[in-house]
Structure 1
Amino acid sequence: MGLFNWTLQLKGYDIAFAKAELSRIQSIPASEYPDYIAKKKAEIVAYHKKHNPFYKKRAAHLSDLDWNDLPVLTKSDLQQPLTQRLSKGFTPKNVYVNKTSGSSGHPFVFAKDKFSHALSWASFMDRYDWYDLDVNRSRQARFYGIPLDFVGYRKERLKDWIGKRYRFPVFDLSDEKLAGVLKKFETTPFDYLNGYTSSIVLFAKFLKQKNNILKEVCPSLKACIVTSEMLFDSDKQLMEAQFGIPIINEYGASELGLIAFQNREGHFQVDSELLFVEILDDNNQPVPDGTAGNIVVTSLYNKAHPFIRYAIGDIGTLSQKENLKYPVLEKLIGRTNDIARLPSGKVVPGLTFYYVTKSVIEEDGNVSEFVIEQTAMDTFKIIYKAKRKLNAAEENAIIKATYTYLEDDLNIIFEKVDLMDRSNRGKLKQFVSKI
């Protein structure tokens, strides 16, 4: 047993049994999978209606059989003391406890029973194995944030050591720091990169500037896994070119584990073993496959805390090819609160504005990163990091593109900065509405 697996077992997470159970679930024939999903949905609802006062209060009067009548839980619903949300028999001392990142604006503390948490790790290990990666043995170059207080910092470093990870803190991604990152790759046989999309994209841009291919610098590399932020096609192509290895998109949440993971065929495969994923409209009704809506997730095994029809706060679409055993997340569009409201009454995803700007200001490689803030109904601020300030022609091109794709007479403010604000544990939120 590897060191990482051993630490999980030591903490009471029976990873060996969880792996065996995951294997059993995966062996269920596709023809029998609808029955498996229906059974697990009914079981988890019945369990929480009986043993969880928090959930019972919300769903006791509803039939277990009419799934669409069950309440949709939001993050704001869960912003109350954890002890009020735990099932009977569970306490903060006999469960896995963590907190969400707060990137959605609704942070909260959550719990998973130990078997459910072990299953989540078994799922991670299974997906990594698709690319010949082993969390016990493969050496990871980790591009993440890190707590800066003494205890938190040392705790994360210890976890990194156990997990064979070397962490590159992403609060400062200047060229000087990135040169140090490259030097580490020259002397360390990393197997893969893992971390925030924007940080790894910035490293790829640095490599392009220096005319380096990472696989040539570090021949042991097998793959790069990006997570927590949107992955754009142009950024993926850049990373593939500069790293010389497969770029894998990962979508997950700390309270749920892996939600989707890119398979070898390039599809964003949903975890249908441990989760049930739905796409709902704003009235909490299912939408046809291929239609965008709110991503709602049910954890089929977490008995300590109900995550039943839980609106994670993201918008996406499921593939039109309905397959309960191998569902595919066709598109991950963004967060539900990443919406720009315009003076005309038009409402557009903030991502629309980002695409427009991205296509204009990154053409010559001057701008390495940018975010957009909506400060008023008609006003957007573009905050960017660049070698030089945008000239008048470049600014006018962005304004013209904005008028073309959104609407006329918007106020666009430009602000050049030396470093981007990564206060949220290193994440870079590409669009923020402040109205």
Structure 2
Amino acid sequence: MNRFKKILSLKGFPIKKAQKEFESILEISDADFPNYDEKRRERILDFHLKSNSNYSKFIQQTHYNSWDEIPVMTKADLQKPLGERLSKGFKKSKVFVNKTSGSSGHPFIFAKDKYAHALTWAHIIWLYQQHGIDVNSSFEARFYGIPKDVVGYKKERLKDLLANRHRFDIFDLSENNLHKFLKLFQEKPFDYINGYTSSIVLFAKFLREQQTVLSSVCPSLKVCITTSEMLFDEDRKLLENQLGIPVVNEYGASELDVIAFENPRGEWQINTKTIYVEIVDADGYALPYGEEGDVVITSLYNKAHPFIRYQIGDRGVIDEKSTPKTQILKSLTGRTNEFVILPSGKKVPALSFYYVTKSVIEDSGQVKEIKIVQEDLTKFVIQYKATGELEESQKQKMTKAIETYLEKGLTIVFERKDELERSESGKLKQFTSRLDS
């Protein structure tokens, strides 16, 4: 067993067993897959109906004539204390617990049982292997955020060390810092880039200004994996030109798994191994391939916490040439890449607000939705929907976090609202800048 798998095992994730089951899933024939998939859905639904009282209350009925009739869950349905949402026999101390990024404006804490999380890793290991990346030995250039509190920071740096990756500081994408990024690529033999689309695109624009192709100064680079935000065609061309390597687009959700990942043929292949993906209409009925609707996902192995017909907040289309086992995501609507522009001239990704809002995302589930509006260079309005007013201590905590992750001297205004404004598509955008207007 290699180092990476050994670390997972030591942390209680049965990766060896998970990989064995994952390999058996790969072997299911196209002809047998529909029946196999239906049985997995029935099995996880039956488990949560019997073992999860919160889900039983939500679903209300115990029998449905078809899968389409099962109610669609939203993130708002899950914003209550985690202890109330766990299935019988599972404790918070014995499961994988994490927070969603809140990039959609609906932050909440979730749980996965350790076997389900191990299956997620088995899937990721397999996906990366398709592009010549070994998660155990390949050296990663990581364009992600990092907590700035001492304990959280040291914990992430230790994880980076054990996972053989270097994390770039995307909270400061000034020209001076981008020069430092380039110098690191000249000095270190990175195998691949992985991170937020917007940050990597900004770095590529810097490379274009420097008239530099990254692979010419870092010839060990093989591939770039973009995630968390939309990758537009124009940005893809920029990345391919300035990085000098293939670009692989990932679509995922921390509470679930990778949802779709570009295969070596350039197709955005949907994960049919550990989740069940549907495109549904406004009434929750599955649409035919080729039609656009809401993305709804069922986690097929997570027994600790139900995600059954869970609406992720995006809209998409499954390609007409898809089959039950091999589905291709034709298009996706959602997740735009934006930056916060500060008085000092510093640019930070809008996703930085994940680390700001995290400071008030409590297990109580008090805060239901958050939206940040930049009114001008110095003024930020934090709009929130909650069961009660934020306490002064919570506001101070968030203000301090903004000073830590962005900069000092900003005007922060808090507004509690009954409902937050949404786009025409109904999507809640966590960050909106009014600088252009």
- Same-fold call, TM > 0.5? yes
1:304 aligns with 2:281: no
Offset from partner CA, 1:256-281 (integer Å, 9 cap, x none): 01111000111110110100000112
In 2, the alpha carbon distance for the partners of 1:232 and 1:24 equals 35
Partner of 1:364: none
Partner of 1:21: 21
CA contact (8 A) 2:374 2:432 kept: no
Higher mean C-alpha deviation, range 277-286 or range 46-55: 277-286
Offset from partner CA, 1:20-58 (integer Å, 9 cap, x none): 111100100000000111000000000000011011112
In 1, the alpha carbon distance for the partners of 2:405 and 2:316 equals 25
Paired AA for residue 49 in structure 1: L
Q: Which runs of 5+ in 1 are unaligned?
A: 339-350, 355-367, 372-379, 385-420, 424-428
CA contact (8 A) 2:105 2:430 kept: no
Relative contact order: is structure 1 or structure 2 higher (C-alpha 8 Å, sep ≥ 6)? 2
TM-score normalised by length of structure 2: 0.78
- What SS does the aligned partner of 2:31 have? helix
Partner of 1:10: 10
- What SS does the aligned partner of 2:94 have? coil
Partner of 1:59: 59
CA contact (8 A) 1:62 1:70 kept: no
Shift of the 433–88 alpha-carbon distance from structure 1 to 2, 3 Å rule, reads farther
CA contact (8 A) 1:370 1:382 kept: no
CA contact (8 A) 1:370 1:430 kept: no
In 2, the alpha carbon distance for the partners of 1:322 and 1:261 equals 15
Partner of 2:205: 205
In 1, the alpha carbon distance for the partners of 2:235 and 2:326 equals 27
Superposed, 1:175-324 pairs within 5 Å as 175-324=175-324
Aligned length: 356
Paired AA for residue 153 in structure 1: Y
Partner of 2:140: 140
Offset from partner CA, 1:120-177 (integer Å, 9 cap, x none): 0000000000011011100000001110000000000001001101000201101110
CA contact (8 A) 2:170 2:348 kept: no
Offset from partner CA, 1:344-397 (integer Å, 9 cap, x none): xxxxxxx9xx9xxxxxxxxxxxxx9999xxxxxxxx99989xxxxxxxxxxxxx
Deviation for aligned residue 1:422:
7.7
Partner of 1:43: 43
Partner of 1:121: 121
Paired AA for residue 225 in structure 1: I
- What SS does the aligned partner of 1:93 have? helix
In 2, the alpha carbon distance for the partners of 1:370 and 1:220 equals 27
1:85 aligns with 2:85: yes
In 1, the alpha carbon distance for the partners of 2:94 and 2:349 equals 43
Partner of 1:152: 152
- What SS does the aligned partner of 2:54 have? helix
Paired AA for residue 248 in structure 1: V
RMSD over aligned Cα, in angstroms? 2.3
In 2, the alpha carbon distance for the partners of 1:381 and 1:79 equals 26
Offset from partner CA, 1:72-93 (integer Å, 9 cap, x none): 1100100001110111000001
In 1, the alpha carbon distance for the partners of 2:316 and 2:28 equals 27
Q: Which runs of 5+ in 2 are unaligned?
A: 339-346, 351-372, 378-403, 407-428
Partner of 2:361: none
In 1, the alpha carbon distance for the partners of 2:50 and 2:15 equals 28
Shift of the 433–189 alpha-carbon distance from structure 1 to 2, 3 Å rule, reads closer
Partner of 2:95: 95
Deviation for aligned residue 1:14:
1.0
Moved over 4 A (4+): 368-371, 380-384
Deviation for aligned residue 1:301:
0.5
CA contact (8 A) 2:111 2:305 kept: yes
Percent of residue pairs bearing the same amino acid type? 51
1:164 aligns with 2:164: yes
